[in-house]
Amino acid sequence: MPKFFLLLILILNTACTTPQVQKSAENLTRPELSPAAVMADGYQLPVSVWNSNEYPAAMILALHGFNDYRNAFKQTGEFFAAHRIMTYAFDQRGFGESAHRGVWPGDNVLEADAAAMAKLLCSRHPDLPLFLLGESMGGAVVMNMQRNAPCIKGIVLSAPAVWGWQTMPFWQRYLLHFAAHILPGKTLTGEWLDIRPSDNLQMLRALGRDPLVIKATRIDAIYGLTNLMEAALQASAALELPTLLLYGENDEIIPHTPTCNMINRLPVKPDIRVALYPAGYHMLMRDLQAEIVLQDILTWINNQSATLPSGQEVSRTSARLEMFCQ
């Protein structure tokens, strides 16, 4: 409690301001991919590609999570390349090697960038089916923009970020809103949080050493992310594309409650499928059991009605899902 009052004193003695969002220029050109992705306003998004030695049978556009960047999909891209699936991943605005790193770009801009990237890939490879793969924040972006790129054949959501305003306790909503408008540029490291995003400790240590992974987060970026997550939660009821939703039962980043809230909103359709991994954490594709998850994704991309090899798919009315969401 004393720490809370100290925080209030600090806030009350600071001038009020507003959350910062990157300013986007007017549309200057048509988006292009050569080799970085150049958006209509001239902003460049660094891109990595993992290609197959054989002619690919499909392609993936992968969107990374908050504070991460395109290298998050190195292991994933190499796995799919060995199975004739080409993977593209790009640094979303404000992350990785993109400009204005750490400053929130706005959820509409993130969604527009992802849609532009999807259309560029469909234009470059018109004979290949395109699947979107979103991890955490990337999943939220995918959920919000999936109807804006008609060439997409399906989406994979790995622990999508849906912890929006309505699923937060009132004090958390109030404090975040207040802090974002009083101390928007203040950065937080989260070092005091006892949260384990994965059981792959070697990978986590490598992320800690990687200078392109953001370690200190602006409060207004967290505020922007929360707006994005709220929009994704709302969009879950309107998913139209074939969808594979993946979630680890040990996820400590996106809590069970908002995830179950999202699952309950999903349209009841046979082409929207859910898998729960008892040993999985938030970073499912980089956990120690990553290959189990990747095999499920591979199977689904090749045949969206096939049984997942992990055996971890749950039906919407299953006792296991009901028990998990209690």
For the chain, count helices (H), then strands (E).
10, 13
Only one residue has tokens 């902003």, namely 43
CA distance 73 to 98: 17
**Residue 11 — pLDDT band, cuts 50, 70, 90?**
very low
Q: Are 162 and 263 in contact (CB under 8 A)?
A: no
Mean predicted confidence (pLDDT) in 175-186: 92
Determine if the pTM surpasses 0.85.
yes
CA distance 241 to 152: 8
Mean predicted confidence (pLDDT) in 216-244: 96
Per residue in 238-266, pLDDT tens? 999 999 999 999 999 999 999 999 999 99
- Domains in the chain: ranges and CATH: 27-324 (3.40.50.1820)
Instruction: Tell me the residue length of the chain.
Output: 326
Only one residue has tokens 């910062």, namely 20
Q: Are 226 and 108 in contact (CB under 8 A)?
A: no
**Residue 1 — pLDDT band, cuts 50, 70, 90?**
very low
- What stretch of H or E contains 224? helix 219-235
% of residues, the chain, pLDDT over 70: 92
**Residue 141 — pLDDT band, cuts 50, 70, 90?**
very high
Give SS3 for 93. coil
Q: Which two tokens stand for residue 249?
A: 């039962």
Closest CA to 221 of 251, 261, 191, 190: 190
Q: Which residues pair with 157 in a beta bridge?
A: 134, 245
